[in-house]
RNA sequence: GCCCUUAUAGUUUAAUGGUUAGAACGUAGCUUUUUCGUAGCUUCGGCGAGAGUUCAAUUCUCUCUAAGGGUACCA
């Protein structure tokens, strides 16, 4: 046991079965916030991380690593736990003008200053064995030999009689014989639930009492020798000195079992706080399967019979499509989505990262799911945009709500857009965007690295209209393609090039000459030249700008012209104007008549 | 089925035993802008139902309803 017991210790204990789910991220964030709030108040608050890998079949080391990576990226740092070395992202609200992932210092997270590790449950087997033996010796735990099939039959029988199935040790249970038999036969160890109701006192929900009749003799060690979640969590929390257990409400029913175990083992119960759950906007559970579900629906809607991706053979594809529960590996699902131009719903932290959300924004948004600071700003608006620092400062368990939350993607998007557009400088955005592109958008990253000045301008062009780092690409996509590699939007051509007096196509030659005469090919001179043209012909800017937009991009929408043109070489701009002139010169249907 | 939890606009939520229940996202519209976007203004929209306590209930109590969680050798 630690000789120095910090005042407040929280923990996040994910099981490494995949990427970090957004709901798990919120749990971690709240635990982090509570510990950091204690630190703000001069108490020794700590947040520790533990890997619950007692499910041998489903756990993997890669998944564990991925979860550490996800947490670190979000800025949810842990004081104790597995080691992680890398660069942390900056909280979104405190971007300085010179950030870039390269310039951030390397940090180390985790460690074991109190000597309470190891932090992987699979490496703590001797500890579980020791405490389990105490229970057996005191006849508070016992071997049981029922096979899974027998248990299933008992459950079925109970169901048929319309009573709930509660496992109890038989009245004529022979302890000595059972212990003897356990030496040679496969068995589980069950906890003898004391015959009394258990009251859990919860800092969010108040006191919740569970009758003894609902609490069965739960399995605490599986036949494979591993402890069950219930036992491991109780032993670990006690040995690691965890004082506050914050977890999702799905664990509320587990709490009386844990409390009973804690009593039996002579451990003090930590304070509990069960947080409301997070659901999709339509009320369904936010699940990794949502991604497969969305893909399957899109494929059915498109009436595709064969795999749109070569790497997936049609048999695999067909069985996956038919089976509601079947999931494809992440990469394959992504490939299908790309092939059919589908945006998969974001579920894991990694999904949101790939979609171009900023870590600070994600933390801000999920903090509001089940918690709020309850403050108003000077204008009387609720305070809901804040950074990690504010969260640590203001967080308290008593402001956690009780009712389940739905995950409103529109609001998250609005938060992300606002941060991108208002809280970041162009330079900071350029750095963030590049870091993102290097990981998720090769084409863009290559283009960025080819010309730094151009990249800065691209950032200036994209940032004011970007909602995510991913969709920022769209605003400047015209600059990444060949001069003749885009089509013209008929409606726009008709409206801005063919119609009107003068017609837009008749404005272009003049403009071309003016642009051609520019020496310093940068936004300001370009803008000046365009404005000058408009003025000298006594035309509104729209009369000049829109035709030019179409010539450059094929459509009537683009970032401001000076910036847009500066993303292309002058020769490219001239070539595009020529191509446009050619296209509009051809007699084409009724547009010319009008 | 049984146990547990919850219930304020479409969503996240604030406040409150007593005149018009406040905000954010969203919706619709207007204004500014060379387009888009941004910004600003306006608009729409809420106490799940029923009893009870009370002079008075969205707020306290009960019932119902609905939603969710649990009911594993998953966590």
User: What is the rounded distance in angstroms from the CA atom of residue A167 to the CA atom of residue A217?
Assistant: 6
User: What is the rounded distance in angstroms from the CA atom of residue A576 to the CA atom of residue A484?
Assistant: 7
- Which nucleotide is closest, CA of A148 to its C1'? B73
Q: What is the pLDDT of residues A145-181, one digit of tens each?
A: 999 999 999 998 888 888 889 999 998 999 999 999 9
Q: Quick one: residue A395, left, alpha or beta (phi over 0 = left, psi -120 to 50 = alpha)?
A: beta
Does the pLDDT value for residue A587 go beyond 70? no
Interatomic separation, CA of residue A64 and C1' of nucleotide B75, rounded (Å): 14
- Which nucleotide is closest, CA of A365 to its C1'? B12
pLDDT, averaged across chain A: 90
- Which nucleotide is closest, CA of A247 to its C1'? B75
Question: Sorting pLDDT into bands at 50, 70 and 90, what band is A103?
Answer: low
Q: What is the pLDDT of residues A536-573, one digit of tens each?
A: 888 888 888 999 999 999 999 999 999 999 999 999 99
Q: Which ipTM was obtained for this model?
A: 0.94
pTM of structure: 0.92
Q: Strand B and chain A: which residues 475-504 have CB closer than 7 Å?
A: 475
User: What is the rounded distance in angstroms from the CA atom of residue A191 to the CA atom of residue A138?
Assistant: 11
Q: Strand B and chain A: which residues 524-553 have CB closer than 7 Å?
A: 527, 540-542, 545-546, 549
Interatomic separation, CA of residue A573 and C1' of nucleotide B60, rounded (Å): 73
Helix (H) or strand (E) holding A406: strand A405-406
- Which nucleotide is closest, CA of A253 to its C1'? B70
Q: Are the beta carbons of A13 and A50 closer than 8 angstroms?
A: yes
pLDDT of residue A162: 82
Nucleic strand B under 7 Å from the C-beta of A152: no
Nucleic strand B under 7 Å from the C-beta of A401: yes
- Cα-Cα-Cα-Cα torsion A386, A391, A397, A399, nearest 10 degrees, comes to -20
Q: Chain-centre distance of CA A192, in angstroms? A: 40
Within 7 Å of a protein beta carbon, the nucleotides of strand B are 1-8, 10-15, 22-26, 34-39, 67-75
| Angstrom distances, CA of residue A156 to CA of A46, A150, A166 | 46, 10, 12
Can you tell me the mean pLDDT for A330-355? 90
């Amino acid at each position: 046991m630690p000789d120095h017991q910090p005042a407040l210790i929280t923990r996040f204990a994910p099981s490494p079965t995949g990427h970090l789910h957004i709901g798990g991220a919120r749990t971690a964030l709240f635990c982090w916030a509570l510990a950091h709030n204690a630190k703000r108040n001069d108490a020794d608050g700590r947040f520790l991380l533990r890997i619950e890998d007692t499910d041998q079949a489903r756990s993997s080391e890669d998944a564990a690593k991925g979860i550490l990576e996800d947490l670190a990226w979000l800025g949810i740092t842990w004081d104790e736990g597995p080691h992680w070395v890398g660069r942390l992202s900056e909280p979104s609200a405190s971007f300085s003008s010179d950030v870039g992932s390269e310039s951030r210092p390397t940090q180390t997270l985790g460690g074991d200053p109190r000597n309470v590790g190891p932090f992987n449950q699979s490496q703590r087997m001797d500890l579980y064995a020791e405490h389990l033996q105490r229970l057996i010796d005191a006849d508070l735990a016992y071997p049981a030999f029922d096979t899974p099939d027998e248990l299933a039959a008992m459950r079925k029988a109970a169901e048929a009689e319309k009573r709930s199935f509660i496992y109890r040790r038989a009245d004529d249970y022979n302890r000595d014989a059972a212990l003897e038999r356990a030496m040679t036969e496969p068995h589980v160890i069950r906890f003898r639930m004391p015959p009394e109701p258990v009251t859990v006192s919860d800092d969010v929900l108040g006191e919740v009492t569970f009758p003894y009749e609902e609490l069965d003799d739960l399995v605490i060690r599986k036949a494979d020798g591993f402890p069950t979640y219930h036992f491991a969590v109780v032993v670990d929390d006690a040995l690691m000195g965890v004082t506050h257990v914050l977890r999702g409400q799905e664990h509320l029913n587990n709490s009386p079992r844990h409390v009973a175990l804690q009593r039996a083992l002579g451990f003090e119960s930590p304070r509990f706080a069960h947080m409301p759950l997070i659901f999709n906007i339509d009320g369904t559970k936010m699940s990794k399967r949502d991604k497969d579900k969305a893909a399957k629906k899109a494929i059915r809607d498109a009436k595709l019979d064969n795999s749109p991706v070569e790497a997936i053979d049609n048999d695999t594809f067909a069985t996956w499509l038919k089976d509601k529960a079947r999931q494809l590996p992440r990469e394959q699902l992504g490939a299908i989505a790309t092939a059919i131009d589908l945006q998969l719903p974001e579920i894991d932290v990694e999904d949101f990262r790939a979609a171009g959300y900023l870590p600070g924004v994600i933390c801000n948004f999920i903090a509001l799911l089940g918690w709020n600071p309850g403050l108003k700003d000077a204008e009387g608006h609720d305070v809901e945009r804040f950074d990690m620092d504010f969260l640590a400062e203001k967080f308290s368990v008593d402001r956690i709500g009780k009712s389940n939350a739905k995950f409103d993607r529109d609001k998250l998007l609005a938060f992300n857009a606002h941060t991108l557009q208002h809280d970041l400088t162009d330079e900071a955005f350029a750095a963030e965007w590049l870091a993102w592109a290097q990981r998720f958008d090769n084409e863009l990253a290559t283009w960025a690295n080819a010309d730094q000045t151009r990249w800065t301008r691209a950032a200036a062009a994209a940032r004011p209209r970007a909602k995510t780092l991913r969709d920022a690409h769209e605003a400047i996509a015209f600059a990444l393609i060949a001069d003749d590699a885009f089509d013209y939007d008929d409606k726009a051509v008709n409206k801005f090039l063919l119609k009107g007096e003068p017609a837009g196509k008749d404005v272009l030659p003049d403009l071309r000459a003016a642009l051609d005469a520019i020496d310093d090919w940068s936004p300001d001179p370009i803008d000046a030249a365009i404005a000058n043209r408009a003025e000298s012909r006594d035309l509104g800017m729209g009369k000049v700008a829109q035709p030019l937009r179409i010539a450059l991009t094929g459509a009537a929408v683009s970032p401001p012209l000076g910036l847009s043109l500066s993303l292309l070489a002058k020769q490219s701009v001239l070539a595009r104007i020529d191509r446009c002139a050619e296209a509009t010169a051809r007699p084409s249907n009724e547009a010319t008549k009008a």
